[in-house]
Structure 1
């Protein structure tokens, strides 16, 4: 079983050999972020696939936000580069949940929270706590929170 990190290393080698500049630069940046996370804290450690996935999700989100900022600033060339890097990172992430799947998961979590005594807008924290592990890497937090808020109000 290959780990996500070793897959990144193999893909980096392939991208360098293919002289794919965007792909190799993006994978290098992703591996640097993984390494930075591994040495953060009191002692160095090897990240699990879930932790590597969390780092890649975070990097992907940064690319999306940067692309939006560059587009808003009229710097389309940089925005295109950020989108290209984001597309490379998306290949390593699980497929995003469809709106229907997300709604079903939110409804389920809201029902569980109600069964546990949490009602109305105050239940937001309880519902999000239930949903986070179920949607890890498959739905943006902002999108998730918006759907939960819509369901609770």
Structure 2
């Protein structure tokens, strides 16, 4: 399971004295703990890997937005720090689908749900996230779906 990989990466980073990786792994573990606390009151709890992947994807999105803002503000040193964290976070995510595979999945779902225009984008995105949410960057997929339906 991914959570065990993160915990073992923390131990490895401590032993190796890799302070940057250790800090990033601790951020991940803190976010996971927050998410666990949120889910205590939930009526239905998804399996652990789903929770971990969802949390990591949100962290990746946040880092990418921060990098963009830091670069536009001329703060390269902060952008570099965020990029280092991003690399650590992405190392725990399952391998992402290629753009060609994503396009093929979108076309299949589009035909399946009978989507013909941008009005049907929500239907396609919902099925895409349900089936491939853990291996697709949904922000990039959104643009691909819009292009396929446009």
Establish whether TM, by shorter chain, passes 0.5.
yes
2:117 aligned residue:
120
Question: Conserved in 2, the CA contact under 8 Å of 1:15 and 1:24?
Answer: yes
| Cα deviation code 1:114-146 (max 9, x no counterpart) | 1xxx43222111111111122213222221111
Question: Conserved in 2, the CA contact under 8 Å of 1:113 and 1:119?
Answer: no
**1:33-112 correspondence runs (5 A):** 33-40=31-38, 43=41, 48-112=48-112
Going from structure 1 to structure 2, the CA distance change for 1:47 and 1:32 (only over 3 Å counts) comes to farther
Q: How many residues align?
A: 148
Gaps of at least 5 residues in structure 2 are: none
The CA distance in 1 between the partners of 2:130 and 2:59, in whole Å, is 19
Q: Following TM superposition, by how much is the alpha carbon of 1:42 offset from its aligned partner in structure 2, in angstroms?
A: 5.3
Aligned structure 1 segments of 4 or more residues deviating by more than 4 angstroms: 44-47
The CA distance in 1 between the partners of 2:39 and 2:99, in whole Å, is 37
Going from structure 1 to structure 2, the CA distance change for 1:93 and 1:42 (only over 3 Å counts) comes to closer
Q: Cα RMSD (Å) of the superposition?
A: 1.8
